[in-house]
Amino acid sequence: MSTATPSAHAHAEHGHTPFLQHHFREMSQQFDAARIGMWLFLVTEVLLFGGLFVGYGIMHARHPEAFVAAHHHLDKTLGALNTVVLLVSSFTMVLSVWAAQTSRKKLLVLFLLLTLACAGTFMVVKYFEYSHKFHEGLLPGKYYSHKGDTVPGQFLFFSFYFMMTGLHGIHVLLGMAAIAWLVVRALKGHFSSQYYSPVEITGLYWHLVDLIWIYLFPLMYLIS
């Protein structure tokens, strides 16, 4: 150790993968650092959505009748369908991580594309739900123009509905962009059991998006 410079030593031993950044000692250190960074980011995401969940809790506690009346405008079937679609997409995402861990390149690309297809299905269903609400005037705050309500204050529910599902939808779109980037890199043959950090941390992000929807679904569609 005293004769060889540390960097030369590291490059000689680990020179077989071009994806080791020079500031990391070895691949497993780089992998662990990437995951810690992602988990810290996910915690900030939890707190970001947490603020909206707390606001939802306050307004739901203060205006229970308005929230129950407003949630009847949502379609439980479409909500449940989207829940299943996202759960399946989490499953295909974790299988693509497994495919990368075991160096199965074709399966990796296949599972990533299946995940993209599920995410696309989710957004299409969301599009139909949103356009139905725009048409009915079920909009947040002062834009609420639905006629024939018997319970006042329903605009409050739709403020939270659009903020929370909208922010979640943006996260789905960003996840789709990240997965598309993974498909390109997977096709170039970048990923193997030696190096799959991007697949792993995109997977973590994608599962968190699923996790948030798991809480959004009962709070928006199933309240009583």
Partner 1 sequence: MSHVNEHAHPVTGPKTYGLVLLALLVLTVITVQASYFDFGPWNTVVALLIASAKGSLVALFFMHLRHDKFNAVIFVGGLLFLAVFLIWTLFDIATRQPVLPSNLKTPVQEFPGAPLGAPVRPSTGQPRGTPAL
The smaller minimum CB distance to partner 1, of residues 38 and 144, is found at 38
The smaller minimum CB distance to partner 1, of residues 133 and 207, is found at 207
The smaller minimum CB distance to partner 1, of residues 5 and 28, is found at 28
Give the shortest CB-127-to-partner 1 separation in angstroms.
22
The smaller minimum CB distance to partner 1, of residues 86 and 176, is found at 86
The smaller minimum CB distance to partner 1, of residues 28 and 150, is found at 28
Cα separation, 206 vs 175, in Å, equals 6
Structure tokens at 36: 């810690």
Give the shortest CB-168-to-partner 1 separation in angstroms.
14
Cα separation, 55 vs 42, in Å, equals 20
Strand partners, 82: none
The smaller minimum CB distance to partner 1, of residues 25 and 139, is found at 25
212 in Cβ contact with 128 (< 8 Å): no
68 in Cβ contact with 60 (< 8 Å): no
Give the shortest CB-79-to-partner 1 separation in angstroms.
9
Structure tokens at 33: 């650092």
Give the shortest CB-88-to-partner 1 separation in angstroms.
7
Give the shortest CB-30-to-partner 1 separation in angstroms.
11
Instruction: Of 165, 158, 159, 162, give the one whose Cα is nearest residue 209.
Output: 165
Cα separation, 103 vs 10, in Å, equals 24
197 in Cβ contact with 37 (< 8 Å): no
Give the shortest CB-74-to-partner 1 separation in angstroms.
12
Which residues are near partner 1 by CB under 8 A? 14, 26-28, 31-32, 35-36, 39-40, 42-43, 46-47, 50-51, 53-54, 57-58, 60-62, 76, 80, 83-84, 87-88, 90-91, 93-95, 98, 101-102, 193-194, 203-204, 207-208, 210-211, 214-215, 217-219, 222-224
Cα separation, 108 vs 96, in Å, equals 5
